Amino acid sequence: MKRILLICLALVLALGTLGVAGALWSDWLYIDGYVETGYIGAEWSVDYFFDNEDKDFSYIDAYGAGTDVLWIDIYNAYPSVTYTVGWNIECTGSVPIHFDSPWFWGDLPATTDFTFVAFNAAGEPVDLYGYQLHPGEIVYGELTIHLSNDAAQDYWYYFYIDLEYGQYNEFP
Amino acid sequence: MRRKRNRFSRLGILLITLLLALCVTGVGYAAWTDEVIIDGTANLGYVDVVLSPGACSGPEITGSVSPPHTLVITLTAAPPGTYTCGFTITNTGTIPVKIQSITMSGVPAGVEVSVLGVAEGVQIEQAGVYPDYVEGMVQVIVLDGCIASCSFEIPFSFVQWNMYIE
């Protein structure tokens, strides 16, 4: 019995010694990595705005440069005058973007002549659906409103254009 | 005895997994889309013209206005002669207007009428901008006399300045 105990004790000591030796002869290698994600962004800027009145009875204002909302206000409007806004959209993100089709909403009379067109850098008309804009690049365009004779007097009309965009390889 | 497989619970787990996967994908998708917006308003102006009667040359002639823009001239026991009645057209709207037409109706025989001071095509500026009114006069020449009472009308029509048709 005493011999067995001695054997066990020796075995424990031997294993302990091996463990220390094992610890001394092992180490770790690491991979330390990070992923910095990009971002998408787009901002309006206003190139010009005017109307084709001979005299200056009504006027148009466009503002909101550097933001994602372009505000257009037309004051004292009346039929037969065409109001025009030249706009730019700059890709301010770090990832190219694709656009969806513009979505229009408003209570302008049905016969209002309302146009929203876009052009590429070469000045060619482009369909915004799926149009790719790289970081720092600009797509520009023009919006025109020509009120028809059935427009109500002394009335506030509202219109809204929503242009959704997303990262180029997942959208639309 | 062979144990019967519980197909429903396996299908349920599959559906829940699919739903969770779609939700996660949805969050990822939403995080990488955005929008730019045009928010616009068009505040329309309005055309509004007020026709007001002015002073008349004597008790034999009076002028009044039938809405919206008709001048009514009434002669009462008017012997042959020339009579006048003034009127004012004021633009109270926000857009300049032009007189599109001046017509006469019901002028009795033996009476000649002319409108002086204003004419078709005359522009009246919008309220607050000089001159936002014009003054005119109706001249009535009674040749045969108007024994009892006779009246006639002069309707005016107005149009926004750039819609005037010559």
Whole-complex ipTM: 0.76
Q: Is residue A99 pLDDT above 50, yes or no?
A: yes
B29 CA: distance to closest CA in chain A (Å):
8
Residue B129's pLDDT band (cuts 50, 70, 90): confident
How far does the CA of residue B125 sit from the closest CA of chain A (Å)? 10
Q: A163 vs B163: CB contact, 8 Å cut-off?
A: no
Q: Find chain A residues with C-beta within 8 A of B162's C-beta.
A: 53-54, 80-81
DSSP lists the bridge partners of residue A138 as: A90
Given a cut of 50, whether residue A134 has pLDDT beyond it is yes
Q: Which residues of A touch B35 (CB under 8 A)?
A: 68, 162-165
Is B34's Cβ below 8 Å from some Cβ in A?
yes
pLDDT for residue A11: 74
Query: How close, in Å, is residue A108 to chain B by CA atoms?
Result: 9
* Nearest in space to B131 (alpha carbons), one of B71, B89, B101: B89
The mean-pLDDT minimum among A50-59, A138-147, B42-51, B106-115 falls in A50-59
* B33 → chain A, closest CA residue: A166
Segment B66-81 mean pLDDT:
94
* Mean pLDDT along residues B47-63: 95
The answer to whether A74 touches A60, Cβ cutoff 8 Å, is yes
Nearest Cβ partner for B41 among A40, A69, A158:
A158
| Chain B positions in Cβ-Cβ contact with residue A164 (cut-off 8 Å) | 33-35
Q: Is B36 near chain A, with CB under 8 Å?
A: yes
Model pLDDT, residue B7:
56
* pLDDT bracket for residue B29 (50, 70, 90): low
- In the stretch 74-93 of chain A, residues with CB closer than 8 A to chain B read 74-81, 83, 87, 89
Choice among B16-20, B28-32, B103-107, B142-146 with the minimum mean pLDDT:
B28-32
Residues in chain B, how many?
A: 166
Mean pLDDT (whole number) for A17-44: 82
Q: Give the chain A residue nearest B45 (alpha carbons).
A: A76
pLDDT at A4: 80
In chain B, the residue whose alpha carbon lies closest to the alpha carbon of A157 is B42
pLDDT of the residue at A15: 67
CB contact under 8 A, A156 and B47: no
Mean pLDDT of A32-57: 91
B29 against B164, higher pLDDT: B164
pTM, full prediction:
0.74
Judged by CB atoms closer than 8 Å, whether chains meet at A170 and B39 is answered as no
Would you place residue B122 in the very low, low, confident or very high pLDDT band (cuts 50, 70, 90)? Answer: very high
Among A89, A87, A85, smallest CA distance to A60 is for: A85
CB B33 within 8 A of CB B26: no
Mean pLDDT value of segment A88-101: 94
DSSP readout, A60-123?
EEEE-TTSSEEEEEEEEE-TT-EEEEEEEEEE-SSS-EEEPPPEEEE---TT-EEEEEEE-TTS
**Cross-chain CB nearest to B126 (options A57, A147, A153):** A57
Nearest to B33 among A43, A44, A171 (CB): A171
pLDDT of the residue at B1: 47
Question: Averaged over A143-171, what is the pLDDT?
Answer: 91
Q: Quote the CA–CA distance of A163 and A131 in Å, as a whole number.
A: 12
